[in-house]
Amino acid sequence: MALTTSQMGAQGPILPRIGLGCMGMSAFYGERDDQTSATTLLRALDLGVTHFDTSDMYGWGHNEELVGRVLASRREECFLATKFGLVLREDGQRGVDSSAAHAHAACDASLRRLGVDTIDLYYLHRRDPRTSIEETVEAMAQLRQAGKIRWLGLSEVSPATLRAAHAVHPITAVQMEYSLFTRSVEDEMLATCRELGVALVAYSPVGRGLLTGTVRSVDSLAAGDFRRQLPRFNAGNFESNTALVAALTDVAAQLGCTPAQAALAWLLAQGQDIFPIPGTKRVSYLEENVAADQVELTSGQLRQLETAVPATAVRGDRSTPDAMAAMGH
């Protein structure tokens, strides 16, 4: 059965509602396995998933190279999204550069790694508040005029920044963390997106794995898994949050689906302008996530899920202090 589609933004393309986040194939979630990841990328296309989300900082180029190499023979079927703005300094620390010069240089580098002539959706990954958003978006508009990118996106910005950016050039999508566990976009960002005709691409839609019900303990995570550093996985917070997942699991069982599918179905039900991009490098999880497209929820069932996972009951910030400081500009 074909996946449900919707238009991305007021002037964007028609895409399947569910995409594939590729970050974990190269970084943050333990060891890489390029062959497993390649199988998953190709299986995604076979299932009707066409929206692939990467970034130049996922493995510092590795992910773009992997995605570009594996999907090269089927490029015409793909909607490729990548990002710029996060940089690795000489001292090994991560920084932010959203200058016009960096936008141009980073785009050229991403095009080379992906092996394509044009990037479908190009995001500013993080904004350096010392650089005006007008400067950055003007540079992105120049990239579009040059045929190097098709649509413009922003990630983890404030509603005010989105408005200022959109005044320079139409923004097609804003990428924000959004799930049953993270609902801050509902305060103002979602309304701003809808006013301006901007789609919301939801990353970490299953709470960095917590909402799948498969993370039984922090000790089960690989030694290099960055979730060990996240406040929601800290002692005390983790136990409280997994109790919420247990309640979600009970509701999902009543619905005849998995907790991950219930969480994704809830997100899809929040509006046709929401595009979740659950990430995985394994075919089994990919197939589970895609099947959420067929889960239809009544208003009563949506309330059941929200009662099982109240937004105010989740304990711990969604990311590390340093990462949180880079967001929202």
Active site residue 58: yes
User: Please, are residues 291 and 264 in contact by the beta-carbon 8 Å criterion?
Assistant: no
Separation in Å, CA 95 to CA 28, 125, 203, 322: 17, 12, 21, 10
Amino acid identity for residue 39 in this structure: T
Residue 279 DSSP code: B
Residue with tokens 């566990």: 181
The residues with which 152 forms a beta bridge, in sequence order, are: 122
Question: 205: which 2 tokens?
Answer: 């839609």
User: Please, are residues 172 and 155 in contact by the beta-carbon 8 Å criterion?
Assistant: no
Q: Rounded to an integer, what distance in angstroms lies between the CA atom of residue 54 and that of residue 63? A: 7
Spatial CB neighbours of 168, under 8 Å, sequence gap ≥ 6: 133, 134, 137, 138, 141
Comparing C-alpha atoms, which of 20, 17, 4, 16 is closest to residue 285? Answer: 20
Comparing C-alpha atoms, which of 190, 127, 131 is closest to residue 328? Answer: 127
Q: How many CA atoms lie within 13 A of 109 on its CB side?
A: 17
Residue 48 DSSP code: T
Comparing C-alpha atoms, which of 213, 286, 284 is closest to residue 20? Answer: 286
User: Please, are residues 55 and 125 in contact by the beta-carbon 8 Å criterion?
Assistant: yes
| Residue in 58, 122, 178, 203 annotated catalytic | 58
Helix and strand element counts for the chain (H, E): 11, 12
List active site positions: 58
